Amino acid sequence: MSNTTVTEIELDFESKRFSVTKPEERFDVQGDMTDDERIEKAMVNFAKDFGRVSATYMEACIHCGACAHACPFYEASGNPRHTPIWKLEPFKQAYKREAGPLAFLYKTLNLKPKVTVDELKEWQELLYDTCTMCGRCTMICPMSIDIATLVGMARHAMFHAGLVPHELYTVTAKAQKEGSPLGATPSVFEDRVEWMGDEHEVEMHIDEDQADVLVLMSSIEIQKYPESMAATAKILNHMGKSWTFRTDGYEATNFGMLSGNTGWQKDMSMKVIATAEKIGAKLVILPECGHAYQALRWQGANMYGKPLPFKIQHISEFLADAVDAGDLKLKTVNKSVAFHDPCQVSRRGGATPAPRKVLEALGVELREAESGGNMNLCCGGGGGVITIHRADTLRYKIMANKFRQLDSTGAEMMVTSCSNCRQNFDESGEKLSWGKDMNSLLELVAENLVEDAKR
């Protein structure tokens, strides 16, 4: 249980965060554009997202303010500016003025003024620092407005206007250039795969010409939790699957999506899609990562321009299917477990039952937290928030709430299936002296595989 209040924590700005140190000066404004150019770029990108669905949502809001009460950021800060629908205000304004049915009236009578650069600068914090696109607000909204998706759209304008928070921009640019936001370049990846293979005596398949299953990893796992690679390999080998890693298509995270650059988002997705096609993969397995699931499973085909020729599963879904089909036999883990659902996999992704099937097969005593499952409280680190130093204080407050939530189940063991959440738990846990570990579902399975029951 955390016994350090958030105000007592000294924020560490010197340490590397995703290999970005705090610079002398924050570069939260990118590029040399004039204000007018920025607004023009922003409007171009707002306009690309005006469609029937986004318009319906922007028309439907009744200003009831209920969304604030579902948002982990508002709940932690109490600041009305963090009301989810308020985060969309410039996007809404632009839509109503330019593309809504009453646009003509709004423009001629100037009832909705043009969006200004200052407004967008003010909104940078609201669109990036204080939103993970967790979608909990949609659950409480009486009009069921999908605010999270719209925040993602609004980010498109922000990126092209050069208004992404410094650290997020830097890691995104790095990811576009090097293939990984954290320096897990193809050669680094290859090295670490080999290392894990040796360390854990697991047969690694890398750069096979042909395989049924393409396995992706996230840079967080590659760099911070490399045991995931070994765990995945162990399980797939045990199941006798034809699988491979590929150095030309391995990165599951998509910082193009998170920062709002659809061009880069497409590049990053296409690397994986092209590779999967090349090797004739029938299934692409996404690692323990939340937004990776959004990027490929739900947005991948739209980036590609046509339906994808392979299936996509989050590792927890893959494991759940395997357990269901009897392909995996697991030892019983006699512990009580509380599960933290990654928002992008459960509520936003639709794979909420999967980890529970796996936990059931592990024989644990599952203690559902209050407001868990599809209602789960976001950890506050996803969507790029964890990269942003200035968002730390609020993120720690949110984590304090998370610790309280999970601790109240009285469970002995904490499990999740997203390495970014896990990273958040580890870092915040240390800062707030949580005193518990966050475990990976994948690693738990790999550790408790019943290996003599081979197929």
Partner 1 sequence: MTLLDFARGPAMQIAIIIFVVGIVWRLVGVWALRQKKDLSEPRQKGAWIGGIKGLFVHAWPYKPFVPKVGTQYIVGYVIHLGLFIVLIFGTPHMLFFADIVGFTWWTLPGGVITAVAVVTTLALFIALIKRLVNPVQRMISNFDDYATWFVTTAPFVTGLMTTMGMWPHYETGLAIHLLSVWLLLIYFPFGKLMHSFWFVVSRYTTGSRFARRGGMA
Partner 2 sequence: MKEHDLTLGEELRRQGISRRSFLKFCAGVASSMAIPAAMVPAMADSLAQARRQSVIMMAYQECTGCLESLTRSFAPTLENLIFNFVSLDFQHTLQAAAGDQAIEAIQTAMEENWGKYLLLVDGSIPLKDDGIYSVSHGQSHLDSLRELSEGAAAIVSIGTCASFGGVGAANPNPTGAVGVDQIITDKPILNVPGCPPMPEVMTGVLTSFLAFGALPEVDRLKRPKAFFADTIHDRCYRRTFYDQGKFAYSFDDEGARKGWCLYPLGCKGPITHNACATLKFNQGVSWPIQSGHGCIGCSEPDFWDKEGFYKPLSAGQWGTAEGIAIAAAAGVALGAASAVMSRRNQDKISGGK
Range 300-359, binding partner 1 (CB under 8 A): 300-302, 304-308, 311-312, 346-352
> Which range binds partner 2 by CB under 8 A, 45-53, 285-293, 347-355, 376-384?
45-53
Q: In angstroms, what is the minimal distance from the CB of 170 to partner 1?
A: 30
If binding is defined by CB under 8 A, does position 109 make contact with partner 1? no
Contacts 24+ apart (CB under 8 A), 194-200: 195/226, 196/226, 196/227, 196/229, 196/230, 196/233, 197/230, 197/233, 199/230, 200/227, 200/230, 200/234
If binding is defined by CB under 8 A, does position 94 make contact with partner 1? no
Range 85-104, binding partner 2 (CB under 8 A): 98-104
Vertex 438: Cα angle to 437 and 444 (nearest 5): 110
Binding partner selected for residue 282 from partner 1, partner 2, none, CB under the kind-specific 5 to 8 Å limit: none
Binding partner selected for residue 142 from partner 1, partner 2, none, CB under the kind-specific 5 to 8 Å limit: partner 1
- What does the alpha-carbon distance between residue 276 and residue 250 come to, in Å, rounded to a whole number? 10
Task: Report whether 337 contacts 364 (CB < 8 A).
Answer: yes
Range 414-443, binding partner 1 (CB under 8 A): none
If binding is defined by CB under 8 A, does position 156 make contact with partner 1? no
Say how many Å lie between the first and final Cα of the chain, rounded: 43
Nearer to partner 2, 99 or 206 (CB): 99
The only residue of 23, 51, 113, 240 in contact with partner 1, by rule CB under 8 A: 51
Binding partner selected for residue 43 from partner 1, partner 2, none, CB under the kind-specific 5 to 8 Å limit: partner 2
- What does the alpha-carbon distance between residue 29 and residue 36 come to, in Å, rounded to a whole number? 14
Nearer to partner 1, 86 or 189 (CB): 86
Q: What's the full length of the chain, in residues?
A: 455
The only residue of 6, 29, 43, 88 in contact with partner 2, by rule CB under 8 A: 43
The encoded tokens of residue 384 equal: 């790029």
If binding is defined by CB under 8 A, does position 187 make contact with partner 1? no
- What does the alpha-carbon distance between residue 425 and residue 283 come to, in Å, rounded to a whole number? 30
- What does the alpha-carbon distance between residue 396 and residue 419 come to, in Å, rounded to a whole number? 17
If binding is defined by CB under 8 A, does position 148 make contact with partner 1? no
Buried b (16+ CB within 10 A) or exposed e, 290-309: bbbbbbbbebbbebbeeebe
Binding partner selected for residue 63 from partner 2, partner 1, none, CB under the kind-specific 5 to 8 Å limit: partner 1
The only residue of 9, 178, 206, 298 in contact with partner 1, by rule CB under 8 A: 298
Binding partner selected for residue 46 from partner 1, partner 2, none, CB under the kind-specific 5 to 8 Å limit: partner 2
If binding is defined by CB under 8 A, does position 48 make contact with partner 2? yes
Task: Report whether 216 contacts 252 (CB < 8 A).
Answer: yes
The only residue of 27, 50, 298, 310 in contact with partner 2, by rule CB under 8 A: 50
Q: In angstroms, what is the minimal distance from the CB of 307 to partner 2?
A: 20
- What does the alpha-carbon distance between residue 182 and residue 171 come to, in Å, rounded to a whole number? 7
If binding is defined by CB under 8 A, does position 447 make contact with partner 2? no
Footprint on this chain of partner 1 (rule: CB under 8 A): 50-53, 55-57, 59-66, 68-70, 74, 80-81, 83, 85-86, 99-102, 105, 138-146, 297-302, 304-308, 311-312, 346-352, 370-371, 374-375
Footprint on this chain of partner 2 (rule: CB under 8 A): 43-48, 50, 98-104
